[in-house]
């Protein structure tokens, strides 16, 4: 699903000022599993930071408290060469003012038809920021706010940063004060684990995801990547990408990835609209949670990425809006179909589709979901 570019005016940009290192013990050797640096300050003096997580295998993940964002993931190929496999930025100006890449999306990820919904008979109107519809939490969603960030005490095989944000009652039209926590953990099994938690003081709707753009080659388009998705069904949409409410089989369509296919193999069948893949899959959820959702393989590098989640759905999006103008870390330009999103989620427009899994959260209840991105190689 295309992320929404919502520019903001930010003044008083301050360069990097300090680096704080947290030494930790790993198998008897002291290494720096977590470090942090100041990237700049907002006009109100609050600090935007970058956190670096490392594991024993040399994998590096960088995160920002602006938008609870994944900015870089460096993993090795089959020959041991490390490359950044997500599209992101490493400077204050673009992280804060640029398009949404790798950020946490909320209060409601994906679309809400007509930018309105009802809870217990009461209608709520949220910001219409995609025509007459609502997408990704509104004009100032969770991707465009500064989160509190706390590095957690590392264990012998992992390191974590916990991000916290209080979304006030009425923000973007949503009811209730919503306290959100997102804990991002890098393990020695080369897993990046995302734990989402939320509580409210008034009935509301919640749908949280991460909007990372992956390219396992680190450059070019992703049409040669091979993909398997553990989903026999999907949710068809109208011409505004709003679900019709139907649950349909992928069999016999270009959406069928129940066996591995190259992403570019059938993508032309999806032209001109939606211009590539931009579909919510109804995950099979077989086995034990978190359930296996997808496997992505880049044949030349040998890099493999697997997705596991407790969520019922996943939006598969092929960066249809990219045009070569997004320049990521290291000066890499990403063309059309230059990356892939796996937005684990509840289904789009769930608040208006009673047959979809509910996204209503009530006082006393806890929203909790887990997504894991696991990296390996052939």
User: Which of the residues are catalytic?
Assistant: 211, 343
Who contacts 308 (Cβ-Cβ below 8 Å, separation ≥6)?
Answer: 290, 291, 292, 293, 370, 371, 372, 374
Phi, psi of 190 (to 5 degrees): 60, 40
What is the full DSSP assignment across 42-103? -TTSPEEEEEEEE-TT--EEEEETBTTEEEEEEEE-TTS-EEE-B----SHHHHHHS---S-
DSSP 8-class letter at 138: S
For residue 63, give the nearest of 105, 82, 35, 41 by alpha carbon.
Answer: 35
Q: Are 193 and 206 in contact (CB under 8 A)?
A: no
Instruction: In whole angstroms, give the CA distance from residue 305 to residue 66.
Output: 25
Residue 139, both tokens: 């004009």
Neighbours of 164 (CB within 10 A): 16
Contact 370, 132 (CB under 8 A): no
In Å, how far from its chain's centre is CA 314? Answer: 11
For the residues of 232-285, what is the DSSP string, one character each?
SEE--B-TTS-B-S--EE-TTSTT--SS-EEGGGSGGGGTTTTSS-EEEEE---
């Amino acid at each position: 699903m295309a992320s929404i570019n919502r520019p903001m005016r930010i003044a008083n940009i301050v360069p990097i000022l300090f680096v704080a290192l947290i030494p930790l013990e790993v198998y008897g050797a002291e290494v720096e599993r977590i470090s942090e640096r100041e990237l700049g300050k907002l006009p109100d003096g609050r600090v935007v930071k970058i956190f670096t997580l490392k594991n024993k295998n040399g994998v590096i993940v960088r995160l920002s408290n602006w938008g609870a964002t994944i900015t870089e993931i460096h993993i090795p190929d089959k020959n041991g060469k490390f490359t950044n496999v997500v599209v992101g930025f490493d400077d204050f100006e673009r992280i804060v003012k640029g398009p949404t890449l790798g950020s946490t999306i909320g209060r409601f990820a994906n679309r809400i038809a007509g930018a309105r919904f009802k809870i217990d008979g009461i209608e709520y109107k949220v910001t219409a920021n995609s025509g007459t519809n609502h997408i990704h939490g509104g004009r100032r969603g969770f991707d465009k706010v500064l989160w509190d960030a706390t590095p957690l005490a590392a264990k012998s095989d992992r390191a974590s940063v916990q991000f916290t944000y209080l979304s006030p009652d009425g923000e973007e039209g949503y009811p209730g004060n919503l306290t959100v926590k997102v804990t991002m953990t890098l393990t020695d099994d080369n897993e990046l684990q995302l734990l989402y938690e939320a509580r409210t003081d008034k009935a509301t709707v919640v749908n949280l995801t991460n909007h990372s753009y992956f390219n396992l080659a680190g450059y070019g388009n992703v049409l040669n990547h091979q993909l398997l998705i553990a989903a026999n069904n999907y949710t068809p949409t109208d011409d505004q990408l709003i679900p019709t409410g139907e649950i349909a089989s992928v069999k016999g369509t270009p959406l069928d990835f129940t066996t591995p296919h190259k992403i570019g193999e059938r993508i032309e069948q999806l032209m001109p609209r939606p211009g590539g893949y931009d579909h919510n899959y109804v995950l099979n959820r077989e086995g034990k949670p978190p359930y296996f959702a997808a496997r992505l393989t880049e044949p030349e590098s040998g890099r493999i990425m697997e997705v596991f989640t407790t969520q019922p759905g996943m939006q598969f999006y092929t960066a249809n809006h990219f045009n070569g103008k997004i320049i990521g870390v290291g000066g890499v330009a990403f063309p059309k179909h230059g990356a892939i999103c796996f937005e684990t989620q509840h289904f789009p427009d769930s608040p208006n589709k009673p047959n979809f899994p509910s996204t209503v959260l009530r006082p006393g209840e806890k929203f909790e979901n887990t997504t894991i991105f696991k990296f390996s190689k052939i």
